[in-house]
Amino acid sequence: MRLIGSTLLAAAGLAAFLGFWEALPRLGLINPAFLPPPSTIPAAFLKELSLGVWPEAVASSLSHYVVGLSAGAGMGIGLGLLSGMFRPFEAATAWIVRLLRPIPGLAWVPFAIIWFGVQPSAAVFIIAIGVFWIVFFATQGAVRGVDRDLVEVAQAFGFRSPWARLTKILLPAATPGILVGVRTALGQAWMAVVAAEIFGVPGVGARMMQASSLLSTDIVVVYMLTMAALYGLFDSAFVALQGWLLRWRA
């Protein structure tokens, strides 16, 4: 009953929001070219679909997203584990980290274009950098936070190599913290996708820029909602995966 009530309320809220949005351009309060009413969006979507532009843009963005996220998160987890496990590694990299960490992902765009050209690899590079630090720090912190007592259990049973420590204790014990970082990265990576593609690498972001230069704001909105939907999809899938991986927790 409570659930139904809150679902109704949420639906009502959304309807009110859409109504308000519809009213603004319809009542002439805002130029419809600047803010398309939501009722025009489905038609714009169908047109993009029939032209085959939408599937193509989404497929190429998704491939940037998946490859960039995997590369950035993979590197972040790998180096985060090293840095969390080995003090000398952390000490040796401390100042490098301090130097590079504050540089925003977008500041790498010039180099991305110089090194890779306006190519998918440039987008992948920017996305990877965008998520790397989040995952790196989450992993390092999670490994550092693993209870020493659990590491002793492994030692007491004769597992003393760093590899055994990693696979038997540190990695499983740090998984909850690492996953929190990866989930944040999931959202961060979408931002990086748009940013990377705005510079011309084909994909959702590039298509949005094209549309906006033609003042086809309805198409811009189509892709904004597309991204919201894709992000929602990935996040839900990830939450399900996380729940399964962490099913051992109370």
Partner 1 sequence: MAEIVDTAPVIDIEGLSLAYERGGTRNVILSNLDLAVPRGEFLVIVGESGVGKSTLLRVLIGLAEPSGGSVRLSTRPGCRTPMGLVFQDSRLLGWRKVVDNVAFGLEGSGLSKAERRAKAAEMLAFVGLADLGGRWPHQLSGGQRQRVSLARALAVDPDVLLMDEPFSALDTFTREGLQDELQRVQAETGKTVIFVTHDIDEAVTLADRVIVLAGKPGRIAAELKIDAPRPRRRRDPALTEAARYLRSELSRRSAEL
Which residues bind to partner 1, rule: CB under 8 A? Answer: 149-150, 152-153, 155-159, 164, 168-169, 172-173, 175, 247-250
Shortest CB 159 distance to partner 1, Å: 7
- Contacts by 232-237, CB closer than 8 A, 24 or more apart: 234/186, 235/183, 235/186, 235/187
Alpha helices in the chain (DSSP H): 2-26, 41-50, 53-85, 87-100, 109-116, 120-144, 148-156, 162-164, 171-198, 204-213, 217-245
Nearer to partner 1 by Cβ, of 115 and 157: the residue is 157
- 95 vs 244, beta carbon nearer partner 1: 244
Least separation in angstroms between CB 142 and partner 1? 13
| Tokens encoding 81 | 């584990």
* CB 148, CB 85: distance < 8 Å: no
Instruction: Between 31 and 155, name the residue whose CB sits nearer to partner 1.
Output: 155
Nearer to partner 1, 21 or 159 (CB): 159
| Minimum CB–partner distance for residue 158 and partner 1 (Å) | 5
Q: Which two tokens stand for residue 17?
A: 């929001």
What is the closest distance, in whole angstroms, from the C-beta atom of residue 24 to partner 1 in the complex?
Answer: 52
